[in-house]
Amino acid sequence: MATPTPDGHREDAVKDDRISRITSAIRVIPDFPKPGILFQDITTLLLDPVAFKDTIDLFVERYKDKEISVVAGVEARGFIFGPPIALAIGAKFVPMRKPNKLPGAVISEEYSLEYGTDKMEMHVGAVQEGERALVIDDLIATGGTLRAAISLLERVKANVVECACVIELPELKGRERLGGKPLFVLVS
């Protein structure tokens, strides 16, 4: 970590270096899983321990003093970034899963995908009324997935403080579907 200066410029430069490294570590694969999709592949980011750690550190720096008690991670790639953030900020981790995966009683939320619908589930009792929650995923595209996660948390009267993703595809305007909840992203 660089020594901060009164105007913060050195810190900004360090942050930019980290963002550049993260951006370079994400691989883009055309036409996956179908023609016309530019797939943002975070598995190459995971192969670079410095870039992976920078990713987690940037989120931890943002959330460590925000009294977050729940980090909710969306299956599958939110399960990679959510747990290290939760451990570092002293919060619990709650998985938001695809249907019929969780063994206990669940609440479910249907949401729309580009084609068709899907369902997301959360264990009853995992989150209590009034808890301060952060929702984590790797990427926001149309925003339907994060919207469903917010709805599940709000149904149990949690306070969703913010959503955070490594990547945003801004042209899909997913941010506009979050009902005014703030969204923090590292790479756009």
Known catalytic residues are 77, 114
Query: Interface with ligand ADE includes 136 (CB under 6 A)?
Result: no
Percent of residues in the chain assigned helix, strand, coil, to nearest 5: 35, 30, 35
Per-residue binding string, ligand PRP, 48-67, x by CB under 6 A, is --------------------
Q: How far apart are CA 154 and CA 43, in angstroms?
A: 31
Query: Interface with ligand PRP includes 73 (CB under 6 A)?
Result: no
CB of 124 to ligand PRP, least distance (A): 22
Query: Interface with ligand ADE includes 165 (CB under 6 A)?
Result: no
Strand locations in the chain (E): 27-30, 38-41, 70-74, 92-96, 106-112, 117-123, 132-140, 159-168, 183-187
Q: Which residues lie near ligand PRP (CB under 6 A)?
A: 74-77, 137-145, 174
Which stretches of the chain bind ligand ADE, using CB under 6 A? 37-40, 139, 141, 169
